[in-house]
Amino acid sequence: MNWPVVDLDPVRRLRALAAAIPGAHVAERVIPAPIELVWEVASDLEREFGTFEPDMRRVRIVADDGDGRLVAEARSRYGMRARFAVDLRPGWCWMQSRFLLVGLAATAVPGGTLVAQTGGLRVPGRSALVPLGVRSAGRKALARLAARIEERAQ
């Protein structure tokens, strides 16, 4: 028997995962820059992530298996710490800790790069996000990312 197979670009994949998480919201924005530049900035967790993700001050990679699976330690702007399991691949970043989730995806589209972001506080023992501030944080993160890419392009 042949089962249907579908290939999803990273943004569609993020939408599908977020749709299965109660309280998740996906923010999207087209950034008028090539995906190579956008992803160079977006995927640089240690140097760039804190410049656009509103609640992150610093991210440090503490383990890398060489195949896109990382372990990162992060510190928020409020001093809280988290240890994330990270799946980082071209156009795809999924980070989750015990209490936090951050997803970022990008795909080339006419006129630039479509970038999508989701994230928030996880409810331990349930696959749910606390919806407070998720929408505005996503919009803010993508606006900051676009501004950072514009700075880098100049």
CATH of the domain at 136: 3.30.530.20
Cβ burial of 59 (10 Å; 0-12, 13-18, 19+) is buried
Q: Which residue range forms the structural domain that includes residue 62?
A: 10-153
**pLDDT band with cut points at 50, 70 and 90 for residue 37:** very high
State whether residue 55 is helix, strand or coil: coil
Instruction: Name which residue leads in pLDDT, 23 or 89.
Output: 89
pLDDT tens for 116-128 read 999 877 776 666 6
pTM of the model: 0.89
In a domain, 5, yes or no: no
Average pLDDT value for residue range 75-82: 88
Average pLDDT value for residue range 137-141: 89
Instruction: Name which residue leads in pLDDT, 35 or 124.
Output: 35
What pLDDT score does 109 carry? 98
In a domain, 146, yes or no: yes
In a domain, 117, yes or no: yes
Q: Report the domain count for the chain.
A: 1
